[in-house]
A and B are shown apart, each in its own frame.
Chain A
């Protein structure tokens, strides 16, 4: 079945460091791919999405490119801030059912 694999956390960085959180997927067909962020004590927010191969989603300085050849959707940010500390979830939607399948989440901790 379809699945999403994320790098384990926590990822600990200093402010202004470069961030990469790896995400790979297994899917039949052509799923849409998403990154969600969950700040401490809050609900889930959509960070960015991509719906087809080579699409790049971007928001708030974060980017991710849908790579069909490597089945990946890695999240990157050039310079992280303390306020980026949160849990990040990679997800895919199955086109025939519209339900989301989530990765296990990666906790990011940014220190000043």
Chain B
């Protein structure tokens, strides 16, 4: 199955700032997915990123808040913009292979 390198693994950020999360996959994949896991809760899909096109956002998530780049078939970034404490979560990227592989996650704390 695919191997995903996600970084940073964790960060503590000031409110009002932005953080960019990177995911690198060891093979070419068509779609990459970005999820949010709020404390003690399940995973919610933020958006689906295809190479060469705009990301598709789920209800409740907007591009201005969570801009995504997908410059090639092995890499994607998610930016959490103008952060507030409510953005404190684990953010995970995922790709579809045998059963959807996930990155190790980025634990974000906004203070």
Binding site for B on A (CB under 8 A): 34, 36, 42-46, 49, 89, 93, 97-105
Contacts and interface: CB of A to CB of B under 8 A. Distances in A.
B66 interface: no
A89 to B, nearest CB: 6
Interface of B: 1, 31, 33, 41-45, 48, 92, 94, 96, 98-105
Nearest to B31: A98
A44 B43 contact: yes
Given A104-B41, A105-B42, 14 more contacts: A43-B102, A44-B105, A46-B1, A46-B101, A49-B99, A89-B42, A97-B48, A99-B33, A99-B48, A100-B33, A100-B43, A101-B45, A102-B44, A104-B42
Given A89-B43, A100-B45, A43 B99 contact: no
Contact of B104 (A43, A46, A98): A43
B69 to A, nearest CB: 19
Of B41, B42, B48, B105, most A-chain CB atoms within 10 Å? B42
Nearest to A51: B99
A44 B99 contact: no
A43 B31 contact: no
